[in-house]
A and B are shown apart, each in its own frame.
Chain A
Amino acid sequence: MSTQTSLQTSEKPLGRDELAQLVARDIAPGSFVNLGIGQPTLVSNYLTEEQNITLHTENGMLGMGPAAVGDEIDGDLINAGKIPVTELPGASYFHHADSFAIMRGGHLDICVLGAFQVSATGDLANWHTGAPDAIPAVGGAMDLATGAKDVFVMMTLLTREGVSKLVEQCSYPLTGVGCVTRVYTDKAVFLTGPHGVTVRETFGCTLEEIQELVPLPLKKAE
C-alpha cells in the first residue's frame, strides 16, 4: 500500500453526523468536555455511556443531559445556546465566574468549536467576520479557545467558494492564538501545533489531493 492511500480511512468525504461520530469516538473516557454551539453539539449524540463523559455548559452547569422535550422543558435549565436541556444524576450548578474559572483554569479536557479559519500554528478565528457594519458579539468564544487542554475544531475544509479554511495566517479577526490542537473536517483530520500541520487521516481523497487544496505544507502524522 502506498503512503498516499494509507491515510485514507473512508471512501467518501464525511457528512456532519459522521464527523460528529468520529470526534465522539476520539474523546477519552472520563473526560470533561464543552461542546460549542452549532455543529459541535452533534457530538453529544454519539457519546456512549461507557465513555462516562461529563458535559460542561458555560452558563453554569456540569453534568448536562440531552435537550429537554415536552414536560422536561424548564426555562431555568438551558445550555449556552439558550436551548432547554436536562440534568443528569451527579449534575452541579455554579455561577458564571466559577464556570469560566473551570474553563480558564484548564480543568476541561476538551472543547469542540466551529471555525471560520484555523491557521498553521493553531490560531482560531470564529467570532467575527470583520465586516465593518456587523455588530460584534463574542460570548464565551475567546474563553473557550483559551482554557481547555485540547481545542478541537469541526468545520468543512473549504468555504462555499472552494477556499481552504485552513490557512497560513487567519484573515478574519482572531479568537485565540495557538490554541487549536486538532481540526476535524469533511476531507481530513489535521493536527496543529508549533511545528506545523500534520494529517492524521483523509476521507475520500489522498494526502496529495488535500495538499492541493490547502495553502500550507502538510506532512503525514507520525
Chain B
Amino acid sequence: MSQVKEKKTRTTQKKSSFDKETYMRWFEEMTLMRKFEEKAGQLYGQQKIRGFCHLYIGQEACAAGAVSALKKGDKWITAYRDHAQPLILGTSPGAVMAELFGKATGCSKGKGGSMHMFDKENHFFGGHGIVGGQIPLGAGIAFAEQYNGTDNLCICFMGDGAVRQGAFHEALNLAMFWKLPVIFVIENNGYAMGTSVQRTSNVTDLYKLGSAYEMPSEGVDAMRVEDVHEAVAKAAQRARSGEGPTLLEFKTYRYKGHSMSDPAKYRTREEVAEYKKQDPIEQVKDTILKKKYATEEDLEAIIDKVKEQVEEAVKFAEDSPFPDPKEIFTEVYAEPDYPFIMD
C-alpha cells in the first residue's frame, strides 16, 4: 500500500504563526538544498561525482524546519543522505560540492565522500553509512551534553529502514532511561531502497515504536515546514528542560531514486505526482505570495542567487586539487607518528 491515500487526509490547512523573516529563510534554504542536489545529480551523470550519491530532493522541509527550531550549539547527526543538512548549518556549498568531487578542499578533505560529510565547526557530526549506526552515536553525543551540563541537544536523523535495526531500539531505550537531550527523527520517505515500510513490519506507524520505551512520540507531516518546526521546537524544549528524548516520525517523500543507480520502479508515477503536489518548497512559496511577504519576482531573484551560489560551488570544486597521495597516511590516527605497516 502506498502512502498516498493516508497523505490526502493528513494535509490540513493550519493557521501559521511564523513571520516573514522565517518564511523567507525557509524559502532560500530549501531552494539551496533543492538546487544543490539537482546539480549533484547532473554532475553524477557526468561522472564528476562518483561512488554512491543519495539525493535529498523532496525532503527539504525536514532539515529546514529543524534548523529554524534549534539553536547554534545543538549537534546534528544523520545517515548517508547528508549533502543538504550541512548546507543550511553553515558549511559552504563549495566545501560540500568539493567533498562530492573528492577534492582536498571538501568538508571532510576528500576522505569522506558523499556519505561522510562532516563539519565539526558547524556542529555537524556526520554522515554515516551503516544503516542505523548513527543512532547510538546520537545518544552518545547527547550523553556528553548532559555530562557537561550544557543546554545543547543532539538531533539524530535516520531513515524508515533504520528503525528495524537493533541499534535503534538499544539507543532509544538508553536515551529514554537516562533522559538524554536528544531528538530522534525518522525521515519516513516511504522506502528503504526498494522496500516500502509496509513490507518490513506489522508496525507501520513508525512513531509508535517510541511507546515501547515510553518515549513521547509523534507523527509529523514533513511536507509542511511549519509542522516540522513546531514538532522540533516542542521536542527541544523537552530535551532542554531535562525531560529527555522525543521520537518524531517525519512523513516525507524522496522524489528521486534511492541513489543515482535506482530507477525507482517499485512505485507508481501517480504516487510521485501526488507528493509533488504537496511540494514543501511550493507550499512555502504559496504562503509567501498569499501573505505578500514577497512577489514572484523577489522569489525568482532568490532562486537566481541560489543557482549562482551552486555554480560557484561547482567551480570551486572543479578548481580544487585532489588530495596529495601522501594524505593516505594522515589522519588515520590522532597520534602523529603511528608506525604503519609499509610492506
**A and B from one complex:** no
Chain A interface (Cβ within 8 Å of chain B)? none
